[in-house]
Amino acid sequence: MADRPIIFSAPMVRALLAGCKTQTRRLLKLPKWASTDPDHIKFGGSGAPEVICQGTGCLAALPLPYGVGDRLWVREGWRAARSLDRTPPRDICRDADVEHAATARSYAEIGLKGRLRPSIHMTRWASCLTLVVTEVRVERLNDISEADAVTEGMPDFGALCEALDPGKLNAVRETAAQTASRLRWPQRWFEGLWNEIHGDGAWAANPWVVAVTFTVHHANIDALDIAARAA
């Protein structure tokens, strides 16, 4: 088990907070010794991923960036007070007030909002969300199921569909959720999200990805330690 940072965009942070995102997919990065042929990734008898070594042609276990039990502290866009705009994150006092861009409160209300800092520069102490990994899979991107696409944080398209064309739904005796499923809206939504993050054509490339399932804890990672010791 390990503690690692993980970056999310503001919309995905809001999905985490709302409880509708419990999975994330990240590009699988192969080790330098591994074959880059996408067809050279195999699955052994235990289901664990393996990859062909360039030097020997033999299969070897594929190391993964996440494991069950890992704790991921969420990095997101953030701000400190305007008076700290020139202070590097590492030098900001741990007791300083921080505004998280996804929820945008506190400093904006009193006119002291500092500059927006990129998520990559969020320090561990400033994080307010922790994810505990419960499952890790390796799969091709396009193999995402409807259920998994929904848990990636999909908006309520069923309600949107019903609002746009309720008459048609009633005529065919089909619920909004059934319409969304029939039209593969969950997968189509995720395709758009993936292309938005990785660029046009990223979905069509169908890369190997690491699919991570997790539980969401609305607390700093170190606060979880304190709570566990007190229990």
pLDDT digits over 38-64, tens only?
A: 889 999 877 889 999 988 889 999 999
The domain ranges of the chain are 77-126
Residues 6 or more apart whose CB falls under 8 angstroms from that of 212 comprise 23, 24, 25, 26, 66, 133, 135, 136
Q: Residues 144, 25: contact at Cβ < 8 Å?
A: yes
This prediction has a pTM of: 0.82
Sign of the four-CA dihedral 181, 11, 202, 200: positive
- What pLDDT, in 10s, does the model give residues 2-26? 999 999 999 999 999 999 999 999 9
Q: What Cα–Cα distance (Å) separates residue 109 from each residue in 81, 105, 113?
A: 12, 7, 8
Range 138-144 average pLDDT: 96
